[in-house]
Chain A
Amino acid sequence: MTSYTTMNPWRLMDDFLGFDWPLSRAFGSLAGMGARYPRVNVWDGPKGWVFEAEIPGVDPAKLDVHIEGRELSIKGSRERSDGGELAFERRFELPQAVATEAIQAKFANGVLTVTLPRHPAAEFRKVAIELA
């Protein structure tokens, strides 16, 4: 069990009334700061890949999911706590070809889920041998 203290940001706010005081300064940036953003889980399965990316607060209309060859890119922008815009982008190289026309993306609870089926040509197939 993690112990956690009770925070009182207002004590500071009283001193700097009218300013934004992001608590995030004490607990890491609201945007994940420098580290890879957004954070993802990638699943690899018999039918292809599933990407999950945590992008809380983003307007889904400002999300751009793009596939070029075997490279998937997720980019967009979101509002920062100070009202500014934060642009982000991540790229991933997939081990095999993707059936690009069958890619699906959905956004729920601040999580983007992209499902990328493997291209049929990249699936393992038993090759029938013709008898001469």
Chain B
Amino acid sequence: MKTDVVKREDVHVEQRERRVEIVPNTAVRQEKDGFLLVAEVPGVDDKSLHVTVENNILSIDAANTVAEPEGYTLALREISPVTYKARFELPDRVDTSGVKASLKNGLLRVRLPISEAKKPKRIAVAAE
């Protein structure tokens, strides 16, 4: 495996970096009662995270925090200040009033329940 050598002169960073917008890595999977959307938002705390649902559009807006210890110089820069932004069109069968979001260890989980009325129902067949 390659070992990265830490050297002070490796990085020349502009003092004020522009915060760029990126789409977080996201996965969606179907669960028993709905969908689970998982987005990677490392460095984001709950105060700088905004999740909204409006007109069947789920929006994620989050700014990460990158440490800048005082008196220190960057030797290796792979993480930048970013705003994670994404929008998802929800299917009609999602009950938007029941959407729940949680944040843990840099992962945002959004549970999107399927409304009771839209769940498949077994139709009893009457024998004649």
Residues of A bordering B, CB below 8 Å: 1-2, 4-10, 13-14, 17-18, 20-24, 27-30, 36, 39-46, 49-50, 52, 54-60, 71, 81, 89-95, 107, 109-111, 113
CB distance from A37 to the nearest CB of B (A): 10
Residues of B bordering A, CB below 8 Å: 1-8, 20-21, 23, 25-30, 35, 38, 40-45, 57, 65-69, 71-79, 85-91, 103, 105-107
Q: How far is the CA of A5 from the CA of B29 in the complex (A)?
A: 20
A57-B105 in contact given A40-B78, A45-B71 (Cβ < 8 Å): yes
Residue of B nearest to A94 (CB): B6
A111-B42 in contact given A8-B88, A9-B88 (Cβ < 8 Å): yes
Q: Total A-B residue pairs with C-beta atoms closer than 8 Å?
A: 166
Q: Which residues of chain B are near A56, meaning CB under 8 Å?
A: 40-42, 105-107
Jot down 14 A-B pairs with beta carbons below 8 A, ordered by A. Answer: A6-B89, A10-B89, A20-B29, A43-B73, A44-B73, A44-B74, A45-B73, A50-B69, A50-B72, A54-B42, A109-B45, A109-B106, A110-B44, A110-B106
Q: How far is the CA of A9 from the CA of B27 in the complex (A)?
A: 9
Interface centre among B57, B65, B67 (most CB of A within 10 A): B67
Q: Which residues of chain A are near B65, meaning CB under 8 Å?
A: 109
Query: A24 contacts B27, CB within 8 Å?
Result: yes
Selected contact of A50 from candidates B21, B30, B67, B85, CB within 8 Å:
B67
A27-B23 in contact given A41-B78, A57-B40 (Cβ < 8 Å): yes
Selected contact of A109 from candidates B1, B20, B42, B90, CB within 8 Å:
B42
Query: A90 contacts B4, CB within 8 Å?
Result: yes
A49-B40 in contact given A6-B88, A7-B89, A41-B67 (Cβ < 8 Å): no
A93-B87 in contact given A56-B42, A81-B27 (Cβ < 8 Å): no
Interface centre among A1, A28, A41, A107 (most CB of B within 10 A): A41
Q: How far is the CA of A98 from the CA of B87 in the complex (A)?
A: 45
Residue of A nearest to B93 (CB): A10
Q: Which residues of chain B are near A57, meaning CB under 8 Å?
A: 38, 40, 105-107
Q: Which residues of chain A are near B43, meaning CB under 8 Å?
A: 54, 109-111
Interface centre among A4, A44, A46 (most CB of B within 10 A): A44
CB distance from B53 to the nearest CB of A (A): 13
Query: B86 contacts A4, CB within 8 Å?
Result: yes
